[in-house]
Amino acid sequence: MSKQNRTIKIEPQDSVLLNNTLRLNATVLPKQLENKIIHQDIFEALPFLPEKFVDLLIIDPPYNLTKNFNSATFKSMTETEYENWIDSWFKPLLKILKPTATVYVCCDWKSSVSIYNVLSKYLIIRNRITWEREKGRGALSNWKNCSEDIWYATFSDDYYFNPDTVKLLRKVLAPYRDENKQAKDWFVANDGTAYRLTYPSNLWTDITIPFWSMPENTPHPTQKPEKLIAKLILASSKKNDFVFDPFLGSGTTAVVAKKLNRKYCGIEINDEYCIYAEKRLKLAEENPSIQGYENGYFLERNTSFEKLKKDKQNAFISKDLFTTGSE
């Protein structure tokens, strides 16, 4: 194995981490779920979840594809069957949402319509985020699939959204100066490059899929990047808010929530993925960084903040640019 391979591995002794997880057999209080993983089938756990305690619900369900998840295989269905399956667990989940809650649901092009149809029955659809996957196999008889969607919805018109926490630092290709020859909405870093802080759009091209040289990487086949989940959490929750993920997988939502000082809880049925999640939570205590997010700003793909240090000799750099802007 390459020395640069930083994929997280679990050892036989890590099985003890399952002792940190919960299994529900009676209704619990929100306090009992804080910063816990429920190691259980979602349909077994749903009846015991308390009401109106979740501020942010992030869902990354199996897409409508035949896919192996360690020891279990999710099989593709007809669109109607898949939509009914989504509804079978999503409707019971509604009880856990606060009236001010926000919901994000991940999907691909094939499952996107089904997800929309279910969400629109119960929530107010706000937007659809599309993010670019820079990895993916080519296809000879179709367009290469290199994007995924995230539906954004709220329980009511009273909800939290803070775009200032998810600004992206981007290179400026054509810097513009005003009539006084002052930089207009951009600055020059000490590498001589012009940059601008841009407000987030619903098209994300700065995301890197976890791979072997990234310390967040696990063998989970559909692991979402910490950077992607961080955007959702920062934009739609405050510190100490409660974040819930009913398909936790290898733990990304819980790990990012912990790093960003939010309460978290998730449901995961698979033993091994629960161990990965618990191990990542433990590692987050030693290293709370999120790749691609530094000093309160998101960076373009494969960019480091080291070269963007404030140049005190440059009059066009904002004095507070590199202060933390997160909630």
In a domain, 85, yes or no: yes
Structural domain harbouring 78? 12-160+204-286
Q: pTM for this structure?
A: 0.89
Rounded CA separation 241/35 (Å): 11
115-130 b/e (C-beta count within 10 Å ≥ 16 → b): bbebbeeebeebeebe
The answer to whether position 167 is within a domain reads no
Tokens 């109106």 correspond to what residue?
A: 52
Q: Where are the alpha helices (DSSP H) in the chain?
A: 30-33, 42-45, 79-93, 109-122, 226-236, 252-259, 271-286
Distance of CA 155 to CAs 52, 101, 201, Å? 11, 6, 21
Within-domain flag for 182:
no
315 falls within a domain: no
Residue 185, domain member (yes or no):
no
Query: The domain spanning residue 76 has which CATH number?
Result: 3.40.50.150
Number of separate domains in the chain: 1
Q: Confirm whether 179 is domain-assigned.
A: no
> How far is Cα 305 from Cα 302, in angstroms, rounded to an integer?
10
What is the chain's pLDDT, residue by residue, as a tens digit (327 residues)?
556 777 878 788 989 999 999 999 999 999 999 999 999 999 999 999 999 999 999 999 999 888 888 778 888 999 999 999 999 999 999 999 999 999 999 999 999 999 999 999 999 999 999 999 876 677 789 888 889 999 999 999 999 999 999 999 888 876 777 767 666 677 777 767 788 889 999 999 988 887 666 776 677 677 789 999 999 999 999 999 999 999 999 899 999 999 999 999 999 999 999 998 999 999 999 999 998 898 888 988 877 666 555 443 443 334 344 433 333
241 within domain boundaries:
yes
